[in-house]
Amino acid sequence: MRILFLGDVVGRWARQAVLSNLAGLRDGMQLDFIIVNVENSAGGFGVTPDIADEFLGAGADVLTTGNHVWDKREIFAYIDRENRLLRPYNMVENTPGKGVVIVTNDDGKRLAVANIMTNLFMAENPPVFPALAEILNETRLVRDADAFVIDVHGEATSEKTAIGLAADGQASLVVGTHTHVPTADHRIMPGGTAFQTDAGMCGCYHSVIGMDPEAALGRFTGQGGGRLEVARGEVTMAGVFIETDDQTGLARSITPFRKGGLLEETAS
């Protein structure tokens, strides 16, 4: 199976770039599934029902999020009825929405996607490792899905790496989001799970993690800076592409994906 995962979409310009490219990417890369993290897609903070519908209508199969999922209040009712928009699994009990979904494409292939959030340097939420164990116990490769992707939304590279190791052999891909910078550690771990600490963002890289550099610098230097706004500039779409084994669901290959903007493009 061929799966593309796109990292955090930051703001309108990144959103438009991704939306206008999804159909071409699916055809050109012969993709079975596309997953997009949309938690920053509404002005850099959160996602709205209309934006989620746009992504799903343009060809995304599953949408993941993170700590900004509730920034737009209107998403509460929507996420309860649209299972393809995930919020992190390990949020407080009775939080709207779900953290795991299984979708089936027109060829009958089944993809499971889970969304979890780490604990280090993040807002308080239930422990991630017990949550991961629950997910892996309830959703099994081959039995329940032909491929299984886990979006690990978090700050610390050490914690994300540990999560990848804990899931090795039980998922097709474990990929980090949230830090908006693509890491260079893509690999297949000993048990057959593809891993990359962070997929990077879909956004303008002449920025501070997608935000206007002047405002961000002002905050760092104590010279003001005002309200953070999404940086305007050419967009790089960043993520990872994997191919999985049809028999085991484990990864056969993992390739970083970068297209457009300032970062060096990758071929896939």
**CA 210/CA 177 separation, integer angstroms:** 13
Question: Does a structural domain hold residue 267?
Answer: no
**CA 218/CA 222 separation, integer angstroms:** 6
Report pLDDT digits (tens) over 94-138: 999 999 999 999 999 999 999 999 999 999 999 999 999 999 999
The better pLDDT of the pair 218, 78 is held by: 78
Q: For 127-166, give the DSSP string.
A: -HHHHHHHHHHHS-BTTTBSEEEEEEE-S-HHHHHHHHHH
**CA 88/CA 110 separation, integer angstroms:** 21
Q: Is the pLDDT of residue 258 over 80?
A: yes
Which structural domain, as residue segments, surrounds residue 59?
2-259
| Confidence band for 268, pLDDT divided at 50, 70 and 90 | low
Question: Does a structural domain hold residue 142?
Answer: yes
What does pTM read for this prediction? 0.97
Angle, helices 128-138 vs 157-167, to 10°: value is 30
Stretch 24-46: mean pLDDT: 98
The H or E element that residue 57 is part of is helix 49-58
Q: Is the pLDDT of residue 148 over 80?
A: yes
CATH of the domain at 227: 3.60.21.10
Question: Does a structural domain hold residue 166?
Answer: yes
pLDDT at residue 210, as a whole number = 97
**CA 169/CA 94 separation, integer angstroms:** 31
pLDDT at residue 223, as a whole number = 83
| Confidence band for 47, pLDDT divided at 50, 70 and 90 | very high
Catalytic residue positions?
68
Stretch 180-205: mean pLDDT: 98
120 Cβ partners below 8 Å, 6+ apart?
154, 155, 156, 158, 159
Question: Does a structural domain hold residue 39?
Answer: yes
- Mean pLDDT of the residues in the chain: 97
**CA 132/CA 152 separation, integer angstroms:** 10
Number of domains into which the chain is organized? 1
pLDDT at residue 267, as a whole number = 66
**CA 69/CA 93 separation, integer angstroms:** 16
- Give the position of tokens 């693509």: 182
| Confidence band for 196, pLDDT divided at 50, 70 and 90 | very high
pLDDT at residue 222, as a whole number = 87
Position 139: which residue type? T
% of the chain with per-residue pLDDT over 90? 95
Ramachandran category for residue 179: left, alpha or beta (phi over 0 → left; psi -120 to 50 → alpha) = alpha
Angle, helices 11-28 vs 49-58, to 10°: value is 20
Question: Does a structural domain hold residue 231?
Answer: yes
**What does R_g of the chain's alpha carbons equal in angstroms?**
17
Question: Does a structural domain hold residue 268?
Answer: no
Question: Does a structural domain hold residue 124?
Answer: yes
Question: Does a structural domain hold residue 264?
Answer: no
Least confident of 5-19, 146-160, 221-235: 221-235
Stretch 239-248: mean pLDDT: 98
